[in-house]
């Protein structure tokens, strides 16, 4: 797709007003990922949720977001980016209200699915709108604002969640973490209607609805099987369901090949599926992304349910990780495209080392646990995550032809979210299975939670050690791996 006509006209005079709207909506979407973790213990108690249902509160959003990124990105191309963004903002605001008004855990999970899909409607449009709104010489400055908002969202989420829950506004408990989105979303929708330039769609484009169905059904079957397997006692049909999910992913590959042979649009460009370097990179991104979401679910439950921390204390304890991510993002920008393999390996080492340190901190806890002991290991792990993501995306995308760069970047974001959903499912299984066994053995809550959490963290340690080892399996490339001139790289 080209935007030659847009670049031939003078820049839109509203171009520095529309990012304010995009930033508000993007911040609202991003902060929702981190703010929920702090509220999980309150939801578990207030709604009488089971262990697997608490996993679904987190996983449903991440999974729906992952499955919506590619089809809604294409739909934005078809109907118009601005229109799709506004639809997403309306959906996200309405779903946030449904989350906050949920009277049962089932209703909350359903609302989280809608929220995730609405977030996926907004996310692909944000940078696309900025790309065609700003002239080339202003894009770097505009895009830096989006990077800053992402960093601030990761820092503010746990703290804001803790403040809202502790405040007990109008006698409510966890509900305000969702309801706060409603007035913000309404402002974003109204301002967006007047300030964001209307970008025309391309009605001649088509979506791959069969591909969407095969990929979505396959991933949902696999994640559902992992999450629900242990509570149901791993019956035969669960294993058959997981096997069917894998078969559907295989069918998705064959369908994309068929679409490519027929010259028809594909959900995931078949040229990318055939690109071994890209698919290897997508596997590493999936492993890398699987390590973090489940970890914070476990830590929040450990601190609040196991050791009696308030939501605010729990959020503040987790903050060093977000600060580390923010610091590393600023530092990583100075390296550009240099030393990518080494940076990914260093990120894997810092994440594995920081989380291993945290494992021993939790394992050695007695009747109480000192939140200050979390500061250094979480800061190291956060610096690792911030160092690794941009480097890993650049490393994978460097071998993608320019014509496939946009599709490759969007698909990597989908793999990232799928990895997060799978990680939540696996870590939840380890944690809740061990926790149930500890309570059955008569352990006190603090000891039961500490033992289960320290065991679950081994998943993260092993995952990031694997990332460290796989980093050097990427083929060395050009002078940029040695500090020489670096080519233009698509930002993730």
Tens digits of per-residue pLDDT, 245-293? 999 999 999 999 999 999 998 888 898 898 888 999 999 999 999 988 8
Query: Has residue 397 got a pLDDT over 70?
Result: yes
Tokens at 56, concatenated: 């679904």
Instruction: Tell me the mean pLDDT in the region 359-374.
Output: 91
In contact, 150 and 113? CB cutoff 8 Å = no
Q: Return the half-sphere exposure (C-beta side, CA atoms, 13 A cut-off) of residue 159.
A: 11
| Domain assignments of the chain as residue spans, ordered by start | 11-205, 208-266, 275-492
pLDDT band at 97 (very low <50, low <70, confident <90, very high): very high
Query: Has residue 46 got a pLDDT over 50?
Result: yes
Average pLDDT, the chain: 85
Q: Note whether 11-205 and 275-492 share their fold.
A: yes
Tokens at 456, concatenated: 């679950």
pLDDT band at 426 (very low <50, low <70, confident <90, very high): very high
Query: Has residue 463 got a pLDDT over 70?
Result: yes
Query: Has residue 384 got a pLDDT over 80?
Result: yes
In contact, 61 and 36? CB cutoff 8 Å = yes
More confident residue, 215 or 393: 215
Q: What local confidence, expressed as pLDDT, does residue 481 receive?
A: 43
Q: Which of 75-89, 150-164, 379-393 has the lowest mean pLDDT?
A: 150-164
- For 194-235, how does the pLDDT look when each residue is reduced to its tens digit (9 = 90+)? 888 777 777 777 888 999 999 999 999 999 999 888 888 889
Q: What local confidence, expressed as pLDDT, does residue 299 receive?
A: 93
Residue 197 region, left (φ>0) first, then alpha (ψ -120 to 50), else beta? beta
Chosen CATH of 11-205 out of 1.20.1050.10, 3.40.50.10490, 1.20.1250.20, 1.10.240.10: 1.20.1250.20
More confident residue, 139 or 202: 202
Query: Has residue 469 got a pLDDT over 90?
Result: yes
In contact, 450 and 309? CB cutoff 8 Å = no
Query: Has residue 445 got a pLDDT over 70?
Result: yes
pTM for this structure?
A: 0.85
- For 111-135, how does the pLDDT look when each residue is reduced to its tens digit (9 = 90+)? 999 999 999 998 888 777 776 677 7
Neighbours of 171 (CB within 10 A): 6
Q: What local confidence, expressed as pLDDT, does residue 375 receive?
A: 95
Instruction: Tell me the mean pLDDT in the region 33-46.
Output: 88
Q: Which of 175-184, 277-286, 324-333 has the lowest mean pLDDT?
A: 324-333
Cα dihedral 293, 295, 296, 302 sign: positive
- Looking at mean pLDDT, say which of 89-103, 224-238, 385-399, 465-479 comes out highest: 89-103
Q: What local confidence, expressed as pLDDT, does residue 88 receive?
A: 94
Query: Has residue 374 got a pLDDT over 70?
Result: yes
pLDDT band at 171 (very low <50, low <70, confident <90, very high): confident
Distant-in-sequence, close-in-space partners of 362: CB < 8 Å, separation ≥ 6: 302, 369, 450, 453, 454, 457
- Name the one residue in this structure whose structure tokens are 């699987």: 290
Q: What local confidence, expressed as pLDDT, does residue 2 receive?
A: 40
What CATH topology corresponds to 275-492?
Growth Hormone; Chain: A; (1.20.1250)
Tokens at 242, concatenated: 């997981």
Instruction: Tell me the mean pLDDT in the region 233-245.
Output: 94
More confident residue, 115 or 326: 115
């Amino acid at each position: 797709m080209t935007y030659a006509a847009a670049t031939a006209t003078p820049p839109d005079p509203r171009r520095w007003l529309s990012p304010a709207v995009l930033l508000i909506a993007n911040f609202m979407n991003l902060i929702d990922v981190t703010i929920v973790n702090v509220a999980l213990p309150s939801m578990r108690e207030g709604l009488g949720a089971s262990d697997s249902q608490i996993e679904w509160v987190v996983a449903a959003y991440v999974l729906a977001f992952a499955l919506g990124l590619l089809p809604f990105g294409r739909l934005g191309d078809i109907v118009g980016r601005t229109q799709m963004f506004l639809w997403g903002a309306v959906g996200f605001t309405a779903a946030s209200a449904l989350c906050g008004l949920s009277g049962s855990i089932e209703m909350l999970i359903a609302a989280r699915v809608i929220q995730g899909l609405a977030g996926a409607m907004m996310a692909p449009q944000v940078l696309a709108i900025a790309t065609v709104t700003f002239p080339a010489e202003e894009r770097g400055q505009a895009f830096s604002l989006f990077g800053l908002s992402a960093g601030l969202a990761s820092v503010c989420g746990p703290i804001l969640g803790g403040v809202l829950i502790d405040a007990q506004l109008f006698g409510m408990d966890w509900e305000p973490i969702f309801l706060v989105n409603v007035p913000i979303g309404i402002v974003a929708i109204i301002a967006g209607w007047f300030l964001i330039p209307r970008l025309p769609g391309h009605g001649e484009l088509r979506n791959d609805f069969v591909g969407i169905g095969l990929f979505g059904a396959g991933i949902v079957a696999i994640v559902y099987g992992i999450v629900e397997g242990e509570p149901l006692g791993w019956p035969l049909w669960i294993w058959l369901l997981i096997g069917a999910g894998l078969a559907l992913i295989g069918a998705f590959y064959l369908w994309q090949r068929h679409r490519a042979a027929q010259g028809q649009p594909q959900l995931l460009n078949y040229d990318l599926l055939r690109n071994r370097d890209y698919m290897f990179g997508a596997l590493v991104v999936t492993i890398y992304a699987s390590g973090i979401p489940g970890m914070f679910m476990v830590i929040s439950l450990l601190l609040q349910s196991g050791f009696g921390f308030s939501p605010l204390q729990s959020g503040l304890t987790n903050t060093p990780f977000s600060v580390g991510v923010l610091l590393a993002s600023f530092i990583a920008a100075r390296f550009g495209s240099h030393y990518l393999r080494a940076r990914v390996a260093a990120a894997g080492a810092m994440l594995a080392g920081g989380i291993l340190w945290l494992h021993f901190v939790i394992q050695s806890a007695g009747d109480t646990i000192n939140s200050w002991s979390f500061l250094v290991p979480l800061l190291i792990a956060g610096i690792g995550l911030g160092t690794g993501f941009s480097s890993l995306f650049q490393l994978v995308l460097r071998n993608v032809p320019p014509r496939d760069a946009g599709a490759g970047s969007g698909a990597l974001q989908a793999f990232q979210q799928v990895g997060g959903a799978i990680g939540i499912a696996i870590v939840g299984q380890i944690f809740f299975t061990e926790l149930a066994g500890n309570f059955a053995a008569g352990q006190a809550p603090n000891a039961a939670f500490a033992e289960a959490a320290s065991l679950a963290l081994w998943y993260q340690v092993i995952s990031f050690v694997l990332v460290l080892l796989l980093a050097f399996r990427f083929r060395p490339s050009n002078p940029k791996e040695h500090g020489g001139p670096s080519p233009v790289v698509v930002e993730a």
